[in-house]
Amino acid sequence: MAQVASSQQDRRGISVSTVVNKQTFEIKLSVNTPDYSPSEWLINPTIPQAPKRYWIVDGNELTIKDATGQATADAEYLVSQKESRKNELETEHLEELETRYPAHRREALQLLLTEAMITGNIERAEYIGQAVAWAEQGRTDLYTVQDQVDAAVTPEEANTQTLNLEDWLAVDPRISVRTAEGING
């Protein structure tokens, strides 16, 4: 059942309405009607009982897309929800990585690893390599869950995919820049 909005007057006698932006579908309730241009806002439209992604403006009314339009909107929404969820998971992963190995520490370790490779300091390279392998495992875990998000057939399924970081964090080799600098093997 659709909601029908109607103009009313507030206690001061000012005309108030429900308005819906024709572009964004933003809904504003009990607004001063003259403050909203009918070229940008629908004044007291019937509000469809459907997700906004199904709405279309038809003249001065809100209507619902046909079945093909709804299917297209659902497909676009699913893609959007998947991308959003994958970004959330990546942010979660990167925040944990940054907590353990801030950018300045990762840069120092990268320089030390490069130097170790150039000078043949295998012991230092192997020490730092533990952190590299650990970070790669974290990315692999992230990619596995992101693939599960991609395989989801509904937005709800995509949003229920979680990244379990506990096992990965538990095996952090806790590589130290100072220790790496001290390895002259």
Whether residue 150 is predicted with pLDDT greater than 50 in this model: the reply is yes
Whether residue 185 is predicted with pLDDT greater than 80 in this model: the reply is no
pLDDT single digits (tens) 27-83: 999 999 899 999 999 999 999 999 999 999 999 999 999 999 999 999 999 999 999
Average per-residue pLDDT for the chain: 93
The alpha carbon torsion through 146, 150, 154, 157 (nearest 10 deg) reads -30
CA distance 21 to 11: 26
- 1: confidence class by pLDDT, cuts 50, 70, 90: very low
Q: What is the mean pLDDT of residues 94-103?
A: 96
**What angle in degrees, to the nearest 10, is found between the helix axes of 103-119 and 122-151?**
130
Domain ranges in the chain are 3-64, 76-182
pLDDT single digits (tens) 132-146: 999 999 999 999 999
Q: What is the mean pLDDT of residues 76-105?
A: 97
- 15: confidence class by pLDDT, cuts 50, 70, 90: confident
Whether residue 3 is predicted with pLDDT greater than 90 in this model: the reply is no
- 152: confidence class by pLDDT, cuts 50, 70, 90: very high
Q: What is the pLDDT of residue 16?
A: 87
Helix (H), strand (E), coil (C) string for 78-123 = HHHHHHHHHHHHHHHHHHHHHHHCCHHHHHHHHHHHHHHHHHCCHH
Whether residue 13 is predicted with pLDDT greater than 80 in this model: the reply is no
How much of the chain, in percent, has pLDDT values that exceed 90? 89
